[in-house]
Structure 1
């Protein structure tokens, strides 16, 4: 038997999150793509975590001879995601209650609620990370997610009066998963056209560095990359040499260079390319 404990996942990282947005909001196209500003973090989740469940039930079709199973089929297949939001804010109130009118004045939010419940359709992004290794990530991008209240809101002094929800995934959805492998990814960055001034910038998975001077040393390039906020699981980036500067990342990334602010020389530019 071959076993590998690195393939066992315990989710619950500080970076786990559920983001909701109106239907039609542009969806992320990569595991670390920046989310559209319309996506709002649900916030703190209950310690029970996030629950993915299949709603289908198996039906066995049996033959006459010995009543043995001939075929099986899944009745009413589907997938739901359950979560218990702990923060009391407009987003969670609007999902739980049938709010017909909302006004805010002098620090008071006034609503007229229907007594019944409703279905709220949203786009959703679910990000979860292995609790022991933040470089291992799953991102689920769901274009249409229909949410209903799923349980009581209990007002007691022994627990947070949170908001339990259950959402049904409608149609297909996209999942991105990092491999968790420690293989390095190496890129070359070259400054071309012999510039005499100006700056260039690098971007990792759409996150851009601060401007780098045209003749930046490798140490400055590494420092700018390591200072990036929001790039999943990247630390310990190293760089050597100058034009090309050879940059080694601890996991697979997309790197781009922008040399539009370089000056002097002949058609100066900055170019990022992978090392075979």
Structure 2
């Protein structure tokens, strides 16, 4: 998820924006909420954020002054300005600081959704270009695959995102681009192959194998195994014991 900071001096507005918008569906998570530009600068000076949704007119430090600060300090933070109709001409002056996204108050969800959809695509594109330019710095897909192979029981996109310092949505797209497989499909493939090898051990128990390959429900494991191999774990184990399956 991309990290979003929401800034507005009106408590009802910033609370509503933080709590009543399904940000995760747009690929964002609310990293913090601030009441003015000064608080915002203090916040992102200490915490990494990717995007800023900020009111243009606030006490102490305005939204445009924050945009100027970000521009002059060469910070990689995308800015979305909230402005009332009468402030729009003033808001356009922020273009000199690289601001390209504006939302008029009162905020409509569909407009907000459209803006943040475009913003997420822009962030995804920049991240993809960064990886292609510096694969070693961001971690190769082979390293990610090795992590999955070694930690298939509890491997997840969230864990890999934390380990490789990459956005969850981005790493999912990157994995698909580089391997032609969805992350979930690759994880299932690894788990099923590990389960198949364990089932060849005559002393192994299907219930134990289920847990060892990351499934808490034996029925879900059996269904996944049968979908992958065409037979249930029990049927496969019997065929091995009878010498019918030597793969």
Between Structure 1 and Structure 2, which shows a larger proportion of strand residues? 1
Question: Greater relative contact order: 1 or 2 (C-alpha under 8 angstroms, separation 6 or more)?
Answer: 1
What TM-score, normalized by structure 1, do the two folds share?
A: 0.22
Give the TM-score of the pair, scaled to structure 2: 0.24
**Structure with the higher helix share, 1 or 2:** 2
